[in-house]
């Protein structure tokens, strides 16, 4: 029973950390990778650690497609004044 409680506590702390990080924003750095089909559908990997999915045809989609194979830094931040 203690083990289950410990696991739940750790998961709760991890979830809290993720929520706080999402409110403040985060930065991902690495080489963009995608096959032709993945890039067309909006799926991009950053150094095999992070997968970014974007809407095909969007401005960000065009940017990421043009940077496949290059190192980039992508920052995600909440818009000021947003809820």
Residue 37 buriedness (CB in 10 A; 0-12 / 13-18 / 19+): exposed
Higher per-residue confidence, 21 vs 2: 2
Pick the closest to residue 28 from 14, 48, 43 (CA basis).
Answer: 48
Average pLDDT over residues 46-50: 86
Residue whose tokens read 């096959």 = 35
This model's pTM is above 0.85: no
Higher per-residue confidence, 33 vs 81: 33
């Amino acid at each position: 029973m203690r083990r289950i409680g410990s696991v739940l506590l750790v998961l709760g702390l991890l979830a809290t950390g993720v929520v706080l990080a999402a409110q403040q924003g985060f930065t991902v750095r690495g080489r963009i990778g995608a096959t032709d089909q993945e890039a067309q559908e909006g799926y991009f990997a950053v150094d095999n650690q992070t997968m970014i999915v974007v809407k095909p045809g969007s401005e960000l989609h065009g940017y990421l497609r043009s940077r496949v194979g290059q190192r980039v830094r992508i920052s995600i931040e909440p818009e000021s004044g947003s809820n």
